[in-house]
Amino acid sequence: MNTIDARTLLYCVFGSPVGHSKSPVMHNMLFAEYGMNAAYLAFEPEDVKSGIAAVRSLGIQGVSVTIPFKEKILAYLDEIDEQALRMGAVNTVVHHDSGSLKGYNTDCYGAVAPLRRFGIAGKRVGIIGAGGAARSAGFGMIREQGKVTVINRSSEKGKKLAAELDCSFLKLEDMDNREFDMLINTTPSGMYPNTEQSPVPDHVLRPGMVVMDMVYNPVETRLLRRARQRGCHTISGIEMFICQGAKQFELWTGIFPSVDKLRQAMMKETV
Ligand code: NAP
């Protein structure tokens, strides 16, 4: 336990719902690990405007931002990092000593970092889904020179994201005849309690393919289990979660924490 006293610095996550968030466990563990007099709580503000007013008046040092506030929060910040501005989404707020609030996006880093060791440049990358998580992964993979295709259930949303990313689009049901080197699931398919769902049929999973699932509850989704059984390299959503969180912690404290330690701690928390 961190010791709380009159000098304890406060950090938090804003989301709705936020009860399922693993961010408080991760950041409180890091504050304790690095001997910092700081605490991290989860809040569900009525709206983003009142949440940001509280950050300013209470001197909250940093905020993680999750659904549904990632886009709306931009209007209430003093500065926005160039990449977050391009993505139109902020998942991290830093409250500077000057009083200025600056927004960043570490989701993009979180999506890319676990895949770097496989080499991304020139790889055919299929991103399944077309929401905010797909946009983060898409921006990141294109920046790393991956050849990205947005694969989505509904054409309208999928085509819109593909146009925004300037990449190709494929309807989810048309995946059979296309080959990919990397597949990234950014849909909630397979997430607890729907653990027997998978966004794609098993036969599209080919040996040697790299398959990452952003879902981290369960740690091994049906998609990852089938991919492993079919000879793919698999990466759990926990990896993205800890990488985006590690980057967030660095923005707040200047320390980039040990990803191995974070992984061990988060594996105990996630079944
Ligand atoms: P979102 O904006 O609601 O987008 C969801 C997308 O998934 C939509 O394109 C939707 O397709 C598609 N979809 C939903 N259910 C589907 C199903 N059963 N089969 C096929 N496609 C389906 O959500 P988001 O904000 O992008 O988040 C998506 C997931 O990523 C969530 O599970 C979230 O927890 C996870 N995530 C994880 C991390 C991490 O750190 N690991 C970070 C961010 C997000 P349609 O357009 O056809 O409706």
Residue 17, preceding bond cis, omega within 30 degrees? yes
Give the Å distances, CA to CA, from 230 to 128, 170, 178: 19, 23, 17
Active site residues: 70
Beta strand pairing call for 62-65 and 9-14: parallel
* pLDDT tens-digit series, residues 228-254: 999 999 999 999 999 999 999 999 999
**What is the pLDDT at residue 237?**
95
Q: 48: buried, middle or exposed (CB in 10 Å: 19+, 13-18, 0-12)?
A: buried
**What is the pLDDT at residue 177?**
82
Sheet with 182-185, side-by-side order of all strands: 168-171, 147-152, 124-128, 182-185, 210-213, 233-235
213 forms beta bridges with: 185
Report the distance separating Cα 248 and Cα 218, nearest Å: 23
Q: Is 263:257 a contact under the CB 8 Å cutoff?
A: no
**What is the pLDDT at residue 266?**
87
Q: Which two tokens stand for residue 108?
A: 């993009």
Specify the pTM: 0.93
Q: Is 198:190 a contact under the CB 8 Å cutoff?
A: yes
* pLDDT tens-digit series, residues 21-36: 999 999 999 999 999 9
Ligand 1: distance of its center to the CA of 11 in Å?
27
Count of CB atoms situated within 10 Å of the CB of 82: 8
Instruction: List the chain residues with pLDDT less than 50.
Output: none
**What is the pLDDT at residue 271?**
56
**What is the pLDDT at residue 78?**
98
Pocket test for ligand 1, best of 26, 109, 164, 187 (most atoms within 8 A of CB): 187
* Residue with token string 């005849």: 177
Ligand 1 lined by 24 (C-beta under 6 Å): no
Ligand 1 lined by 153 (C-beta under 6 Å): yes
Ligand 1: distance of its center to the CA of 131 in Å?
6
